[in-house]
Amino acid sequence: MSTEIRVQHQPQSAADSLRDLIMAWARDQDTGEPRYIFELDADRRGNKSRCICPSCLEPLTAVNVAKAEYIRRPHFRHPPGTEKHSCSIVAARIALLKEIQADGWIQLPQSRRRATATGLSGQTYEAWVTAPAEKMRIANVNFQDHARALLTLDDGRQLEVLLTGSAAMSTSNEICACLTINVEDSEVASLSPEEIRKRLTLMPDWLCWQSHWQDNVLDAQAQGLLHIQMIEAMEVTPSDLDLSNIPAELRRETVLHYLAKQILRDAGEIQVPAIHHEVSRHATTGAVFTRTWSKPEATLTLTNIELECRLGNIVPDVVCNAQDELGNCLPRLCIEITVTNTIGDERRTRLQQGGDATLEVDLSQTGGRLNLAEFKDMLVREIAFKNWIWHPEASAALIELEKQVLDDVQKEQIETKNSQNWREEVLAMDVGEIGRRYLAAVTAYLQEPDHLDNSESGASRQELASKQSEMYRLADMLEIHGYLGGKRINKRQAARILARFLSLKQDRGVGYRVKTGFEVLNAVWQSRDGNRQDIPMYLAAARLWKIHLSDKQAETVQMWRREVKASIAAGETKYLRQPINDRLLALLFPDLAGALAATTKYVLQKLFLPNPQPNVRQDGFLTGPDLERWLQDHPDSASAWQHLRSRK
């Protein structure tokens, strides 16, 4: 079904219509016959017209009758105060000539023409064109006024006839009126004109027509504008598209599919959205493993574009070859354009099973109607209305992500199981033996010259890494037994602290670029103020292990000891330490246990800081600040004695 187009006038307002109404016909009150305004002579001018309104039967005034010059053309008028609205509407016509000046000029109003059409979607469109108002000189005046009348025959039959009244100006400025009665009945044709006129009765519902000599041109222009408007709105069928076998409700959608093919073929490219996959799984241990994959937005170059090409059991709207900016090719890209035909699960499954990359352009998300320019831009440039139904690379990536995450979960669970088994094995081992092996591993690691620099060979670096790995493994075993970790030092910090004790015990630099134990002790003494709490412990170790000192060095060490005592006696905390790592150090250096116990914060304050007697309860247990100091100095035993805080 082709698009229907019809043309009509722009309706005037009621005020404009009433202002320009002209009554050219009336009924002779003497004879009852129709009387044309130009038939009257000067004797029947004004209220002497002896004519009445055929509608309300009120007397009429004849205006400008028998005048050669006038501003407003001759016409009938109701007397002032007469209720005449309905009469004017049915008995008069809109004036063809609004104003005729004495010098022969006429002011013609503008003429507007409208074209309307119904588009494929059922939406109505319209276009207007206008011929401007213009002032023109009159070459001659020839009025033609039409009226319908009933002709009554002798046998009672009534025929509807058309009366045409015209008037022409003679060379002597006389007005000549002429009446034409158009009849075809043979019986009526045999009657004289006077007899016919006596039998005529004006019909009270006639309206005379109005036209413009440019109506045909204006109508063609309006139709042209309307056609362009509907093409832009994609509401007309392209000339080379046959929709005869397409249901009416699917024609606009078919046109959109067709235009999409033309647009993509002409553009030769399309912007496609990014693809992002994220896969997460929870392991039984509570850990969450996540893997992601992304493919960025891209501009695809399109070739070999086909419309509605059947591929097995699917018929995509557009089928083409595609290549991105990097030269990656899609052997076949399918594009589905949806308006109201939403892609359901079954259709989506069939498209995915087809194995070709498939892109959906969902016009239902546009939120309103699109014009052709917007449609072109959206198809080529916009990505907000596009989504991938299936992409071979993305699908393969998603499968790989699922596999990787599953492997991560399984690996976590295996490692957790192995860790539990290993923990049980470690707890069954003698911690003293672990400590000896750990100290030997630390010594071996620290004895590597300068811990290797960039000049060492790859084999040497591999050996260092192996020793470090063994050292950390044994440290993990000690952590399982509660000697490392938590509030205590970790395995990386332990190696640095043990380097000091090993250097003092062996009276040589172990892990230090110095040769003697004193040089290591001097390096410790140079520690920053915030790191000097452990100095009393190192001084006690140096005395216990009797590092070699020259007289000058011995004097220096004594000076350090005096400074420590003075600081503690002054109430400072710079040299006061908590014994949180003493359990580990006593395990690794059993002979150091006494020195460690003698250099804790509580013991040093008791020795060098005058304090009142400890608060002891009647049952012999410490209380108050003394209890708090003891709990801080013995963190490994504190949990067993926390109940003392609440006992009275």
Q: What is the predicted pLDDT for the residue at 56?
A: 80
Could you give phi then psi for residue 167, rounded to 5 degrees? -145, 145
Q: Who contacts 501 (Cβ-Cβ below 8 Å, separation ≥6)?
A: 538, 541, 585, 588, 589, 592
Q: Who contacts 106 (Cβ-Cβ below 8 Å, separation ≥6)?
A: 97, 98, 99, 100, 135, 136, 137, 138
Q: What is the predicted pLDDT for the residue at 462?
A: 85
In whole angstroms, how large is the CA radius of gyration of the chain? 56
What is the rounded distance in angstroms from the CA atom of residue 376 to the CA atom of residue 379? 5
Measure Cα distances from 571 to 557, 567, 576, 604, 608 in Å: 22, 7, 10, 11, 9
3-state secondary structure of 541: helix
3-state secondary structure of 570: coil
3-state secondary structure of 251: helix
Q: What is the predicted pLDDT for the residue at 9?
A: 37
Query: Smallest Cα–Cα separation from 163: which of 29, 50, 36, 39?
Result: 36
Residues lower than pLDDT 50 in the chain: 1-20, 85-86, 88-103, 205-210, 612, 648
| Cβ-contact 318, 302 below 8 angstroms | no
Q: Hey, what amino acid is at 465?
A: A
Measure Cα distances from 468 to 135, 207, 422 in Å: 108, 112, 20
Could you tell me where the beta strands, DSSP code E, fall in 363-440? 386-390
What is the rounded distance in angstroms from the CA atom of residue 596 to the CA atom of residue 479? 20
Q: Hey, what amino acid is at 17?
A: S
Q: What is the predicted pLDDT for the residue at 139?
A: 57
Could you give phi then psi for residue 367, rounded to 5 degrees? 80, 10
Give the pair of three-digit tokens for residue 519: 């040089």
What is the rounded distance in angstroms from the CA atom of residue 458 to the CA atom of residue 465? 11
3-state secondary structure 173-189: CCEEEEEEEECCCHHHH
Q: Is 286 left (phi over 0), alpha (psi -120 to 50) or beta?
A: left
Q: What is the predicted pLDDT for the residue at 91?
A: 39
Q: What is the predicted pLDDT for the residue at 177?
A: 63
| Cβ-contact 601, 537 below 8 angstroms | no
Q: pLDDT per residue over 603-641, tens digit each?
A: 998 888 876 455 555 555 666 666 666 666 666 566 656
Q: What is the predicted pLDDT for the residue at 499?
A: 92
What is the rounded distance in angstroms from the CA atom of residue 558 to the CA atom of residue 539? 10
Q: Is the pTM of this model over 0.75?
A: no
Per the DSSP assignment, residues forming a β-bridge with 116 are 6, 126
What is the rounded distance in angstroms from the CA atom of residue 584 to the CA atom of residue 93? 119
- 538 CB burial (10 A radius; 0-12, 13-18, 19+): buried
What is the rounded distance in angstroms from the CA atom of residue 602 to the CA atom of residue 608? 10
Cα torsion 402, 408, 410, 413: sign: negative
